[in-house]
Amino acid sequence: MTISQKVEGMLSQASWIRKMFEEGARLKEEFGNDAVFDLSLGNPVMEPPKKLKSALALAAQDETPGLHRYMPNAGLEEARMAIARTLSPESGVQLTAKDTVMSCGAAGGLNITLKSLLDPGEEVIVFAPFFVEYLFYADNHGGKAVPVKTNDDFSIDTSALEQAITPKTKAVIINSPNNPTGVVYSRESLQAVAAVLQKASEKKGSPIYLISDDPYKKIIFDGVETPHLFEIYKDSIYISSHSKDLAVPGERIGFVVVHPECSDRDKLMSALIFCNRVLGFVNAPALIQRAIAESQDAGIDPMVYQLKRDRLYSALIEIGYSVVKPQGAFYFFPKSPLEDEVEFCRMLAQEKTLAVPGRGFGTPGYFRLSYCLPDRVIEGAIGGLRAAFEKATSL
Ligand SMILES: Cc1ncc(COP(=O)(O)O)c(C=O)c1O
């Protein structure tokens, strides 16, 4: 038996990520978990807020009949209402449960959205560096992700966006705070993107949708503003999850919200609900939907991540790395001191410090460090980051 050639190709394309992962596993086996400083994964270190855990326990103990049965494909009414209630003041648009579909994480939300929107060969613009799964998610639904470069500080280059738009462009994905850079896009830059898309949609005679994939929306630092796209562009779709802000990525709970004035809104809502069903998710698990409906006012404390950012940022700068200071999420994307960042990540691994090469995010020459980690791991990694930097710059 052999697997599909397409998946075979995807596996080999990602083989160096696997090699880094295998190298990490080998190092951990040889030296023990505590001796290896793994900054490669974005798995939140924080525990979910007590309020969410209690709501989960209460939901599990509820003896009301029918609570564990199939539910409407859009998700539980109470969960959809809770999301709409939370998002209305944040987005500046009055939302209801009818604008909302629950999903299996933001990943599930992206997949139902792209399946709903894309015809074969249609294009989805993503800004590099990007969350690598966008490439695969667009391909899942017959589409193609088209990477567009950003400026040196990773802000959006609107003229590059303008040039990348073709008659096949169906959507643009924005991710702010960004994985892997931690950059937050300013209101002005989002307005500039909206103006480009407005003009291009008019020329094309059909809308180019703006998808905001924002699971890090509430992990922001120094009081930076994270404007909601709903205020700026009506053909927009907001996708988020509680993987990061309630620290439950294992529970697979997310949601998709469509701007009430979006073009073809009713059809789009029906498509999203249908795609939840036919992609086999049916919907996010009932227990966690009921729990988050009761916990919208809870959240992890972003200050915990801000302090970790501050510690690692000052260490990186002191060592000599060139890096943009993140304003949210929990990643750094420093420039590699060697042009070949895969080679540099190998040097880091020799120092028992694990990072992800930037080509995994469509941007060679950089590497990603996660800091959603215990302080012990961050402190431990600083020595390796220094030793590898010194080795690389003395070559
Ligand atoms: C930018 C981005 N989008 C989507 C996801 C998927 O999140 P979820 O766990 O909610 O599916 C992630 C996860 O790391 C991410 O970084």
CATH of the domain at 109: 3.40.640.10
Indicate the pairing of strand 236-241 with strand 254-258: antiparallel
Residue 240 Cα to ligand 1 middle (Å): 8
Residue at which a domain ends, from 262, 293, 324: 293
Residue 246 and residue 348 share a domain: no
- Give the span between the Cα atoms of 269 and 258, in whole angstroms: 7
Q: Identify the residue whose C-alpha is closest to ligand 1 atom 2.
A: 131
Residue 120 Cα to ligand 1 middle (Å): 24
Mean pLDDT for 156-167 is: 98
Q: Given the CA of residue 108, which atom of ligand 1 is nearest to it? A: 11
CA angle 75, 81, 86 (to 5 degrees): 120
Mutate to test the pocket of ligand 1, among 183, 244, 288, 361 (most ligand atoms within 8 A of CB): 244
Residue 170 and residue 94 share a domain: yes
Residue 260 Cα to ligand 1 middle (Å): 24
Residue 109 Cα to ligand 1 middle (Å): 10
Q: Identify the residue whose C-alpha is closest to ligand 1 atom 16.
A: 179
Mean pLDDT for 145-149 is: 98
- Give the span between the Cα atoms of 170 and 118, in whole angstroms: 7
Residue 32 and residue 67 share a domain: no
Residue at which a domain ends, from 246, 266, 293: 293
Model confidence at 191: pLDDT above 80: yes
Mean pLDDT for 13-20 is: 68
Indicate the pairing of strand 169-174 with strand 144-148: unpaired
Q: What is the pLDDT of residue 11?
A: 82
**In a domain? residue 70:** yes
Token pair 């008019």 is found at: 202
Q: Given the CA of residue 175, which atom of ligand 1 is nearest to it? A: 1
- Nearest Cα neighbor of 157 from 121, 124, 129, 122 is 129
Contact 127, 150 (CB under 8 A): yes
Residue 320 Cα to ligand 1 middle (Å): 30
Q: How confident is the model at residue 373 (pLDDT cuts 50, 70, 90)?
A: very high
**In a domain? residue 283:** yes
Q: What is the pLDDT of residue 1?
A: 66
Residue 215 Cα to ligand 1 middle (Å): 6
Mean pLDDT for 359-378 is: 95
Residue 250 and residue 102 share a domain: yes
**In a domain? residue 5:** no
**In a domain? residue 99:** yes
**3-state per-residue secondary structure call for 322-356:** CCCCCCECCEECCECCCCCHHHHHHHHHHCCEECE
Model confidence at 181: pLDDT above 80: yes
Residue at which a domain ends, from 259, 293, 327: 293
Residue 26 Cα to ligand 1 middle (Å): 27
Owning domain of residue 325: 12-41+301-393
**In a domain? residue 7:** no
Q: What is the pLDDT of residue 15?
A: 63
Residue 316 Cα to ligand 1 middle (Å): 26
283-308 confidence digits (pLDDT tens): 999 999 999 999 999 999 999 999 99
**In a domain? residue 82:** yes
Mutate to test the pocket of ligand 1, among 43, 176, 238, 241 (most ligand atoms within 8 A of CB): 241
Q: Given the CA of residue 241, which atom of ligand 1 is nearest to it? A: 10
Count of structural domains within the chain: 2
Q: Given the CA of residue 254, which atom of ligand 1 is nearest to it? A: 10
Contact 189, 155 (CB under 8 A): yes
Residue 240 and residue 182 share a domain: yes
Token pair 């227990």 is found at: 287
**3-state per-residue secondary structure call for 245-311:** CCCCHHHCCEEEEECCCCCCHHHHHHHHHHHHHHCCCCCCCHHHHHHHHCCCCCCCCHHHHHHHHHH
Q: What is the pLDDT of residue 111?
A: 98
Q: What is the pLDDT of residue 24?
A: 80
Mutate to test the pocket of ligand 1, among 111, 181, 213 (most ligand atoms within 8 A of CB): 213
Q: What is the pLDDT of residue 41?
A: 83
**In a domain? residue 164:** yes
Residue 117 Cα to ligand 1 middle (Å): 20
73-109 confidence digits (pLDDT tens): 999 999 999 999 999 999 999 999 999 999 999 999 9
Residues of the chain with pLDDT > 90, as a percent, come to 91
Q: How confident is the model at residue 319 (pLDDT cuts 50, 70, 90)?
A: very high
Mutate to test the pocket of ligand 1, among 83, 114, 179 (most ligand atoms within 8 A of CB): 179
109-127 confidence digits (pLDDT tens): 999 999 999 999 999 999 9
Mean pLDDT for 13-39 is: 82
How much is the mean pLDDT over the chain? 95
Residue 348 and residue 288 share a domain: no
Residue 267 Cα to ligand 1 middle (Å): 26
Domain CATH number, residue 22: 3.90.1150.10
User: Would the CA dihedral through 323, 378, 106, 262 be positive or negative?
Assistant: negative
Q: What is the pLDDT of residue 10?
A: 85
Q: How confident is the model at residue 162 (pLDDT cuts 50, 70, 90)?
A: very high
Q: What is the pLDDT of residue 12?
A: 76
Residues of the chain with pLDDT > 70, as a percent, come to 98
Pocket, ligand 1, Cβ cutoff 6 A: 42, 105-107, 131, 175, 179, 213, 215, 241, 243, 249, 254
Residue 89 and residue 195 share a domain: yes
pTM as predicted: 0.96
Q: What is the pLDDT of residue 163?
A: 98
Residue 128 and residue 54 share a domain: yes
- Give the span between the Cα atoms of 95 and 84, in whole angstroms: 5
Residue 240 and residue 175 share a domain: yes
Residue 356 and residue 215 share a domain: no
Q: Identify the residue whose C-alpha is closest to ligand 1 atom 7.
A: 106
Mean pLDDT for 222-240 is: 97
Q: Identify the residue whose C-alpha is closest to ligand 1 atom 14.
A: 42
Mean pLDDT for 352-369 is: 95
Mean pLDDT for 366-372 is: 97
Residue 278 and residue 312 share a domain: no
Contact 75, 287 (CB under 8 A): no
Residue 356 and residue 276 share a domain: no
Q: Given the CA of residue 42, which atom of ligand 1 is nearest to it? A: 14
**In a domain? residue 6:** no
